[in-house]
Amino acid sequence: GAVVSQHPSWVICKSGTSVKIECRSLDFQATTMFWYRQFPKQSLMLMATSNEGSKATYEQGVEKDKFLINHASLTLSTLTVTSAHPEDSSFYICSARSLKGLIYEQYFGPGTRLTVT
């Protein structure tokens, strides 16, 4: 299947600093990527849809000025958590969709564990 990578796999930062997470589709091009957040023992929550060459679409309740998304190429989307606070500590997962025949399959990255101290 298609492979999606994320970097870094984990990061610790101080409160008030910004952190950038990269999501790459390694063997396919993805015009659309998605960013999710997952808190311990909870399900994945969609944060935003990242579209190559255009602005991201954010889900209700997600601050677009705090979670900056850039989808500069067909294989790379980045999520920047600005002025991070301890409540932003979470597991961030990206996904990218690949067209297989007439339907799309979505493949997920391994996730990035963010800890804000």
Partner 1 sequence: LAKTTQPISMDSYEGQEVNITCSHNNIATNDYITWYQQFPSQGPRFIIQGYKTKVTNEVASLFIPADRKSSTLSLPRVSLSDTAVYYCLVSGAGSYQLTFGKGTKLSVIP
In angstroms, give the least distance from the CB of 55 to partner 1. 16
Tell me whether strands 4-7 and 103-108 are parallel, antiparallel or unpaired.
unpaired
Footprint of partner 1 (CB under 8 A): 1, 4, 6, 32, 34, 36, 43-46, 49, 91, 93, 95, 97, 102-111, 113
Rounded to whole angstroms, what are the CA distances from 112 to 17, 53, 73? 17, 24, 20
In angstroms, give the least distance from the CB of 111 to partner 1. 5
Query: Which structure tokens are listed for 111?
Result: 């996730």
Other CB atoms closer than 10 Å to residue 96's CB: what's the count? 28
Nearer to partner 1, 19 or 111 (CB): 111
In angstroms, give the least distance from the CB of 16 to partner 1. 26
